[in-house]
Amino acid sequence: MTNNNFPLIMGIINVTPDSFSDGGLHLQADSAINHALLLASQGADILDIGGESTRPGAISISVKEELIRVIPVIQGIRDAGCELPISIDTIKPVVARKAIEAGATIINDISGLALGTELALIAAEYDASLIIMHSKGTPQTMQINPYYHDIVQEIASFLLEKAHIAKECGVKDIILDIGIGFGKTVDHNWQLLSSLSTFATLGYPLMLGISRKSFIGKSLLIDTPADRDITTALLHAMLLSTKMHILRVHNVKLMDQLRVLYSLLEQNKNKKRENYNE
């Protein structure tokens, strides 16, 4: 049971040894494929495959290593008959191209085209969707005293500029992501979430990635990332009044339960309106 007004649920599959939440759990291709299929069965609308950790302080890996991690997983998901859209979470053009050729349909660029237009050109060439995220610096530097004069305005301007560049490159489907946790303090993240309505007026679909992130842990004193799933879902529920297109999460089952509850409430609201109008 779903509701068309509820955002799409993107399930995270980290094929890494060092991601902040589940690094190492699905480093082997078979494990990652099985996890992806499990998320699909639990209600995921999109699967996001990442082979390089982007947590603060993470070390970059080679193109070869990233390809070894992600391509067999994408191929395995497709070989298993799963037809859900697959997003490749990468900043490397070679990885993006090979992932699309293996069956991915979305490029999730956490650099926000900061490294050039090549990812946008690849998305246009293959008619793939492009997610443009705001980040400040690299994973190695982004949490070293990030500063903004007006964070909402600066990020809105950045995203609009990059979306314009992507359109000029020929990308037809562009999604924006404000980049919670990427070069932002705890206070910055809360400022952005309280201003989501501003970003919803930019004219592009929004993706939100808050799942298990450290600002939730620091705000509620929850040290273990996996223990932040319930509070992640609660926060999503509080933010549903703002139109969002995609929610990127680790715990798809919990988010799908939220979707069912939301659908039931909306159905009964509609019944009340119909009864009132009769």
**pLDDT computed for residue 22 by the predictor:** 58
The position carrying tokens 């490397």 is 92
Burial class (CB in 10 A: 0-12, 13-18, 19+), 230: exposed
Which residue, 217, 257, 262, is CA-closest to 244? 262
Task: Catalytic residue, from 162, 213, 228, 259: name it.
Answer: 213
Nearest Cα to Cα of residue 12 among 229, 162, 195:
229
Q: What is the largest CA-CA distance in the chain?
A: 64
Q: Does domain 8-252 have CATH number 3.20.20.20?
A: yes
- Tens of pLDDT along the chain (278 residues)? 345 689 999 999 999 886 656 555 677 899 999 999 999 999 999 999 999 987 766 778 999 999 999 999 999 999 999 999 999 999 999 999 999 999 999 999 999 999 999 999 999 999 999 999 999 876 666 677 788 999 999 999 999 999 999 999 999 999 999 999 999 999 999 999 999 999 999 999 999 999 999 999 999 999 999 999 999 999 999 999 999 999 999 999 999 999 999 999 998 887 766 666 66
| 55 tagged catalytic | no
Instruction: Point out the catalytic residue in the list 248, 253, 271, 272.
Output: 248
Which pLDDT value is given to residue 277?
64
Whole-prediction pTM: 0.92
The alpha carbon torsion through 251, 256, 259, 261 (nearest 10 deg) reads -100
Element (H, E) at 87: strand 86-89
DSSP, residue by residue, 236-251: HHHHTTS--SEEEES-
